[in-house]
Chains A and B, each alone.
Chain A
Amino acid sequence: MKNITVKINGEEKTLDIEPRLLLVHLIRENLSMTGTHIGCDTSSCGACTVLLDGKSVKSCTVLAVQAHGKEITTIEGIAAPGEMHPLQEGFKENHGLHCGFCTPGMIMRGMELLERNPNPTEDEIRWGISGNLCRCTGYNNIVKAIQYAGAKMRGDELPDTEPEFV
């Protein structure tokens, strides 16, 4: 067993864990935060994306011990209860989700994408979310959701939110 300390969504936690425990299992099972999803379990789909010291990573392919001394941000930690982060609002307003399974991963990836590039082009958004799979939306409304969030975070005029159905 290894003793680790992580800061998750601002709160410090100290736990004894097996070295083979995956970060996604630490989050979902040991820390009971089930907003982070397990999709493919092979670092392909991006449903398990979280921020580790601000960088988006696929938590199914990180060992929990690797997070020792680091800061983890999950979907639960991006807005206060009852409030929405601009990305959450963007997905809601633009019909950026159908079943919702990929959404937490898409949003966590969107966090780093907009942090690095506050005003991305459509092409940059599509490359930026190329490690996240959605099997419902056809992506168009997800791209619009991220554009909306970018505009909101920059304080620009919000784009039209008429959803696109393809």
Chain B
Amino acid sequence: MIPAPFDYSAPGSLEEAISLLKEHGDDAKILAGGHSLIPMMKLRLAEPEHLIDINNIPGLSYVKEEDGKLKIGALTTETELEYSAAAEGRFPIFKDVSKLIADPQVRNLGTIGGNIAHGDAANDHPAVMMALNAEVEITGENGARMVGIDDFFFGFYMTAVQPNEILTGIQFPLPPKGTGNAYHKLERKVGDYATAGVAVQISVDSNNVCTNVGIGLTNVNPKPLRAKRSEDHLKGKVLSPDLIQEAAQMASEDCSPSPDLRGSEEYKRAMVGVLTKRMINKALERAKADY
């Protein structure tokens, strides 16, 4: 399978990339890791006339703590994230998620920015970023703007990134002590999209009261979904197995999975319930070790 012909440029600066985007408008696509875009181009589901490779732009690959936030550059690969100090430290969720994204070779090139900018509810990072309450940095000709993750996904392949803009980074607040996070997806085999996936970040105080929680769901809704009712059910309450079970039940009720080869709607809802409960408990275990 060979992509349709296109023009290729590899600008050395963001300014140059944005002016190329402005020049070519909807006919241009940004190439980061290429592991969503190139397969689509080979299948001719995408036929951009201009491909703007941003890999020569310096300064877009990093994982760093700054101003009380964890900041991740758009070109950071899944492998870099998996082996980052953040993943070894307070964000084991990155190890959970990286291991389940495609396979090692794909993770060597696939980027976190591309995973999110693709706007696919079947991708894993959108749910993780919802759990972590991320903000997305989008750069255009007038500089960078920040968009909250809840206002980022509009629908299938549709995001807040406009045709003359580039997703340049992700950031989220460093959580207080007593915070844990976890992700798991049910997949049929390595490299599969999730049958269902659940990301959780939870903070607890010394009285086992949930002070904050984020829960994101993968591939069980037309766009990435925050389990809002489940979060509200847990916040401010003393955590108990019954309370967690109720929150998990709410997540399974509030999603809208489509039946497909991975399972029926009923099965997927049941799996959302199971995974939500497990991930709350796993994140909670990590939170208790975080004091």
Contacts and interface: CB of A to CB of B under 8 A. Distances in A.
A and B interact physically:
yes
Interface of A: 2, 18-20, 22, 25, 41-44, 46, 49, 55-58, 61-63, 65-66, 68, 109, 112-113, 127-128, 130-132
A132 B42 CA distance: 20
Contact of A61 (B2, B4, B39, B79): B39
A131 B103 contact: yes
Interface of B: 1-8, 10, 31, 34-35, 38-39, 41-42, 51, 53, 55, 79, 99, 102-106, 108-109, 190-191
B51 to A, nearest CB: 7
Contact of A109 (B38, B51, B105): B105
Contacts of A42: 1, 39, 42
A144 B35 CA distance: 31
A44 to B, nearest CB: 6
Shortest 6 CB-CB distances between A and B: which pairs? A131-B103, A19-B8, A130-B190, A55-B108, A20-B3, A131-B105
B105 A46 contact: yes
Contacts of B53: 65-66
A62 B6 CA distance: 15
Contacts of A113: 104
Contacts of B102: 43, 131
Interface centre among A61, A68, A127 (most CB of B within 10 A): A61
B12 to A, nearest CB: 12
A110 to B, nearest CB: 11
Contact of A66 (B1, B5, B55, B108): B55
A61 B99 contact: no
B2 A22 contact: yes
A124 to B, nearest CB: 11
A131 B106 contact: yes
27 contacts: A19-B6, A19-B51, A20-B2, A20-B41, A22-B2, A25-B2, A41-B1, A41-B42, A43-B35, A43-B105, A46-B105, A55-B109, A56-B104, A57-B109, A58-B105, A61-B39, A62-B34, A63-B8, A63-B31, A63-B38, A63-B51, A65-B8, A113-B104, A130-B191, A131-B190, A131-B191, A132-B103
B6 A20 contact: yes
A68 B10 CA distance: 10
A109 B190 CA distance: 16
Nearest to A58: B105
Nearest to B99: A127
A131 B103 CA distance: 5
B5 to A, nearest CB: 6
Nearest to A41: B1
Given A19-B7, A20-B3, A66 B34 contact: yes
Contacts of B39: 42-43, 61
Contacts of A109: 104-105
Contacts of A128: 104
A136 to B, nearest CB: 18
A54 B105 CA distance: 11
Nearest to A49: B105
Given A20-B3, A43-B106, A56-B104, A2 B35 contact: no
Contacts of A65: 8, 10, 53
B35 A61 contact: yes
B191 A62 contact: no
A57 B102 CA distance: 12
A122 B42 CA distance: 35
Contacts of B8: 2, 19, 63, 65
A84 B7 CA distance: 41
A62 B31 CA distance: 11
A68 B182 CA distance: 38
Contacts of A68: 10
B31 to A, nearest CB: 8
B105 A63 contact: no
A19 B5 CA distance: 7
